[in-house]
Amino acid sequence: MIVLQTPRLLLRRLLPGDLDALAALYADEATRRHLPCGTLTRAQTQEELEWHRHGHPDDPRLGLWATVERSSGAFLGRCGLLPWTLDGVDEIEVAYLIDRSRWGQGLATEAALGIVDHAHHTLGIDRLIALIKHGNAASARVAEKIGMHHERDYRHAAGPCWIYARTR
Ligand SMILES: CC(C)(COP(=O)(O)OP(=O)(O)OC[C@H]1O[C@@H](n2cnc3c(N)ncnc32)[C@H](O)[C@@H]1OP(=O)(O)O)[C@@H](O)C(=O)NCCC(=O)NCCS
């Protein structure tokens, strides 16, 4: 199921056939350095893929989506919308992860802008956040480029984070 498209990218629900490509991204230490659980094994990747296959189990409108290059069909990453409860408040995060060989080409920003538009205008979600581990400067820059501002710090179990946010 296609969720949304941008000039270069198509975001769709994850499929079993995405496992090889996703597992390769998740096994890469540099890619996973700022994520709470670090690298993932193939089995852990499969578990996550299954969790998101039909949308997020708590809300099928949300989830992590395969992020595919429209011109080549290449699997470039996974991006999407994730529900969290932070300090007792329900929040929705714009999530992005792109193949390291394609960093710096504006792809995360393009995907995230498409996701923001989808969230605000198709799903009617007014407030969006990014939950970013201290030191993940590239992620913070993407958050800024999609119109988010640093709101506060947050003490996550995996280490201190910044919360960036935007409201429609
Ligand atoms: C964060 C991530 C998605 C960015 O993907 P990307 O496609 O390279 O992002 P873009 O090209 O759209 O934009 C990256 C911006 O960060 C900047 N940037 C990159 N590395 C940086 C660094 N170390 N310090 C400061 N800015 C940095 C780039 O210059 C660019 O900003 P600019 O357009 O103003 O020059 C990518 O690095 C990634 O997949 N990281 C691993 C997963 C991850 O950490 N996800 C976020 C979890 S909160």
Q: Domain tally for the chain?
A: 1
Is the predicted pLDDT of residue 62 greater than 90, yes or no? yes
Mean pLDDT of the region 69-89 = 97
CB atoms within 10 A of CB 109: 18
Rounded to the nearest whole angstrom, what is the distance from the C-alpha of residue 141 to the centroid of ligand 1? 6
pLDDT digits (tens, 9 = 90+) for 42-54: 999 999 999 999 9
Paired tokens of 58: 């708590």
CATH code (residue 30)? 3.40.630.30
CA–centroid distance, 96 to ligand 1, in Å, is 10
Overall average pLDDT of the 68-87 stretch: 97
Ligand 1: residue whose CA is nearest its atom 3: 97
pLDDT single digits (tens) 111-164: 999 999 999 999 999 999 999 999 999 999 999 999 999 999 999 988 999 999
Instruction: Tell me whether residue 24 is exposed, middle or buried, using C-beta atoms within 10 angstroms of its C-beta: 0 to 12, 13 to 18, 19 or more.
Output: middle
pLDDT at 7: 98
Residue 141 CA, closest ligand 1 atom number: 16
Whole-number average pLDDT of the chain: 97
Which residue range forms the structural domain that includes residue 29? 2-167
Strands 149-156 and 9-13: unpaired
